[in-house]
Structure 1
Amino acid sequence: MTLFLAMLLDAAMGEPKWLWSRFPHPAVVMGRAVGWADQRFNHGDQRRRNGIATMVGLACAALLLGWALSRFGPLVEIVIAAILLAQRSLVDHVKAVGTALRLSEGDGRMCVAMIVGRDTSDMDGPAITRAAIESAAENFSDGVIAPIFWYALLGLPGLLLYKITNTADSMIGYRTPRHQDFGWAAARFDDLLNLAPARLTALLIALTHGVFRHWPAIVTDARQHRSPNAGWPEAAMARALNVALSGPRSYDGERRDYPYVHPEGRIDPGPDDIDAATRALWRGWSVVLAGVLITTVLAAAF
């Protein structure tokens, strides 16, 4: 019942500005810890070794903290779990892109720049839309399904372990001269922890949108993606909405000619498709919520 109530609380409250303008969000605290480790240990000739040791230390600290916090009872656990889920905030951020894009492409570019890491200055309407939908699909896996999955398996320690790993990957898990070695462990561990959730997210989207018959094509597209996990929810969302996702884009001024996911889909999506993506997020979330409730009731009965 704890997970069920945490999901409801997250859906109702999201990320209240009045709270996080006064106190640091746990994700911010985690980011500070990763940043401190990056500054302190990312140097010398043994950067990969240092990165592995850092990731082990962060993981152990997360597990220990999760165990300690769980000793305070279910109310504390519900609140913390709700804070570390991201369904409401994800939907709000993605939906805001569609709202802004209806005003102008310039507004859409400014809004989508808040949720993606690629260059946005030259994006047209369809590119803005694709970026928003891709972010919706990938973050539904990273920010909603994966945290639920690891909480269901290992409780609060599992949730904190996943969140610190995901935070570390987002900060140091890049193949740049500075982080290629030091961030190697964070990136690989994040890949491992997202292995099952990413595929479950794709399956969830496919089943809730009647496109499971396209599963072989979803698998093919997912395996061609540059990420071992992000391609799965993206490929499923592309077919759920019948739009072509991914494709060419630019990072730090360098054009990357990535292939389209579901190239047979519409290549000119717009704000209505962003709205459809947010509805897909709620549909998938509702099925998971129902599954959590049914599992809880059956466990209590037997």
Structure 2
Amino acid sequence: MTTAALLAMALVLDALLGEPDWLWKRLPHPAVLMGRAVSALDRLLNRGNGLVLKGALALALLALGALTLGEVLTRLGPVAEVLAAAVLLAQRALVQHVQAVADGLRLSLKEGRRMVARIVSRDTGAMDESQVARAAIESAAENLSDGVIAPAFWFLILGTPGLVLYKVINTADSMIGYRNARYEAFGKAAARADDLMNLIPARLTGVLIAVFTGQMREWHAIASDARRHRSPNAGWPEAAAARALDVALAGPRSYDGRMRDLPWVNPTGRKRIGPGQVAAAARLLWRVWLVFLLLTVACALLLPLW
């Protein structure tokens, strides 16, 4: 069975089941286990001198463990590979979290803030409705790349070892890849590795959104906005989603009590937005997922013939 066929089954299984609470109440989620490994290496190595090299060593150990686990899962057969891939993809969970923000905003601004705080790291306590909506849409676009397209891409390229490797690097970046006093040096290797592994998937996600929504004629503007984004990769899906939904994203926001004057993405789009636009973003996630699934099925059918 081809890797593309395995991926297609995993995409469908994740879409149907998402993150079953009954299972993860009894067993630790693989992402939690990855986080524990990162935390253990952080405590062990993030001290003294030579922190850049120690961070690189930590990343190498994580990568070795991920590749080994991926190889074990491969040897267990296609059922294990499909189940592992479905667990490490996050389409249904992502849509549910984004839709929860839309539903929360329809109840009250306070509830919208509470829901969006689950999926973003910025300060949410003083957000107005438009800021809550923008944060949710930005998270939807970025996590479509990080949580669905990128892991699927590396599964297609390197099989289960590639998928597990991507997820552990992405987890490490989310935990230690910060430019602050504690992680500026130690987390550098994780941050650079995550940037590299998302280089193609982020742009692929932007293309999928733009093609599906008829925005490829705006690709020059999408690319221009993406290059001004604070992230080398997140700007691509965000810029494409902003034009697909006709909204302005990014812009000024607060992190750790400090306002940052970031440039707008699609500055001519609507800035006064609310739950309707967030719900539209959730629907966009499913539509792009369907396009990607159909492409994966086409690969599964055509590659053996080729």
Give the shorter-chain TM-score range.
over 0.9
Distance, in Å, in 2 between the alignment partners of 1:71 and 1:102 is: 48
1:42-61 pair list within 5 angstroms: 42-61=46-65
Q: Which runs of 5+ in 2 are unaligned?
A: none
Q: TM-score, normalised by structure 2?
A: 0.98
Residues 1:228 and 2:232 aligned together: yes
Post-superposition shift, 1:137?
0.1
Encode CA deviations 1:131-180: one digit per residue, 9 max, x unaligned.
Answer: 00000000000000000000000000000000000000000000110100
Residues 1:165 and 2:169 aligned together: yes
Residues 1:282 and 2:257 aligned together: no
Report what 2:269 is aligned to.
Answer: 265
Report what 2:143 is aligned to.
Answer: 139
Question: 2:119 aligns to what SS in structure 1?
Answer: coil
1:140-289 pair list within 5 angstroms: 140-289=144-293
Q: TM-score, normalised by structure 1?
A: 0.99
Where does structure 1 differ by over 6 angstroms across 4 or more consecutive aligned residues?
A: none
1:9-24 pair list within 5 angstroms: 9-24=13-28
1:25-104 pair list within 5 angstroms: 25-104=29-108
> What amino acid maps onto 1:236 in structure 2?
A
Post-superposition shift, 1:53?
0.8
Question: 1:263 aligns to what SS in structure 2?
Answer: coil
Post-superposition shift, 1:259?
1.3
> What amino acid maps onto 1:59 in structure 2?
A
RMSD value, Cα: 0.6
> What amino acid maps onto 2:115 in structure 1?
C
Distance, in Å, in 1 between the alignment partners of 2:217 and 2:49 is: 51
Distance, in Å, in 2 between the alignment partners of 1:124 and 1:216 is: 31
> What amino acid maps onto 1:222 in structure 2?
A
Residues 1:300 and 2:304 aligned together: yes
Residues 1:125 and 2:142 aligned together: no
Residues 1:110 and 2:82 aligned together: no
Distance, in Å, in 2 between the alignment partners of 1:46 and 1:282 is: 45
> What amino acid maps onto 1:12 in structure 2?
L
Distance, in Å, in 2 between the alignment partners of 1:212 and 1:274 is: 22
Distance, in Å, in 1 between the alignment partners of 2:52 and 2:299 is: 42
Distance, in Å, in 2 between the alignment partners of 1:100 and 1:19 is: 26
Question: 2:269 aligns to what SS in structure 1?
Answer: coil
Distance, in Å, in 2 between the alignment partners of 1:189 and 1:228 is: 12
Encode CA deviations 1:240-266: one digit per residue, 9 max, x unaligned.
Answer: 000000111101100001111101000
> What amino acid maps onto 2:258 in structure 1?
E
Comparing 186-195 and 266-275, the one that deviates more: 266-275
Post-superposition shift, 1:17?
0.7
Q: How many pairs were matched up?
A: 302
Encode CA deviations 1:72-103: one digit per residue, 9 max, x unaligned.
Answer: 11011100000000000000000000000000
Distance, in Å, in 2 between the alignment partners of 1:200 and 1:37 is: 32
> What amino acid maps onto 1:220 in structure 2?
S
Distance, in Å, in 2 between the alignment partners of 1:45 and 1:298 is: 53
Distance, in Å, in 2 between the alignment partners of 1:56 and 1:127 is: 38
> What amino acid maps onto 1:38 in structure 2?
D
Distance, in Å, in 1 between the alignment partners of 2:81 and 2:168 is: 17
Distance, in Å, in 2 between the alignment partners of 1:220 and 1:97 is: 29
